[in-house]
Structure 1
Amino acid sequence: MTRKRRRLYIAFAGLLCVATAAALILTAFEDNLVFFYSPSDVQAKGLPEGRTARIGGLVEEGSVEHLDDDRVEFVVTDGAHSLPVVYQGALPDLFREGQGVVAEGQAGDNGVFQAREILARHDENYMPAEVADALKESGEWRPETGEDPAEAKSR
């Protein structure tokens, strides 16, 4: 085997190792990605089957219904469209009707979003940027303080 051929084999083996590592890293990232959707996005595009997603908006007034075994049903809206959500577990203390919420889970068979985690606003000045943007797009943005949530978040 000549020196030139040996260097070529080493370079090829190195490229193969780098390509394998890149493929493994990208596969790991794909499994952990969680995309955000507003109810209007869900209406237009639907939710991916079997994939974890986050939906966000406002908890619709009069929609919260506490069922047995710590199950809660409520509706998330962005003003234009609504999406029913079912969650089993303890709700955050700041969860209430008319407030911003993000639910993480999967789409159910019957069009009901099955939430595994509920995230609520942590104070009167904060709302997740994705939720605020979705509400602004739908024309339902009503800030209590009159400031943009992106500005409040950067302070």
Structure 2
Amino acid sequence: MAAKKSAGSRTPATTTLDRLGLPYTPHEYTHDPAVDDYGREAAEALSMPPAQVFKTLLAEVDGQLVVGIVPVNGKLDLKALARAVGGKKAVMANPLLAERKTGYIVGGISPIGQKTSSPTFLDSTAAEHVNVLVSGGRRGLDIEIAVTDLLRATGGILAPIRRTD
């Protein structure tokens, strides 16, 4: 999987992957401003199974900012995330804080190339795939990347953090 670069796909995420020498494929699509389920929109627009397209969410575990990456057809299990971190309580981060700390806007937060690095946990269902898609750093751009390379680029850990209900 070689990086296919275009002017529209240059973001801190793609710059980071290029710097690390990790292969990826950018997938661009037209974002509909009326849609706020960004992950499902990406899966549909790119004709990808929702279980293979992952969304990046930020939470605070005992006051520490943490990144949780789960498939778009699931939800983040805050209790499981707290356990994975070794903490007691997790709450979703304020969207403005998430944007300020990552340097990305909600709906385009990539787990790669964030302004402030935070502990990162990738749901263990990602291991069922060779490649997954995550936000490339803006709405309308996803990056297809090998799970092992995503973990390498983020310093992430596989953990069961997806809510199954």
Give the TM-score of the pair, scaled to structure 1: 0.25
Q: Could you say which structure has the larger radius of gyration?
A: 1
Q: Which has the higher contact order (CA 8 A, sep 6+)?
A: 2
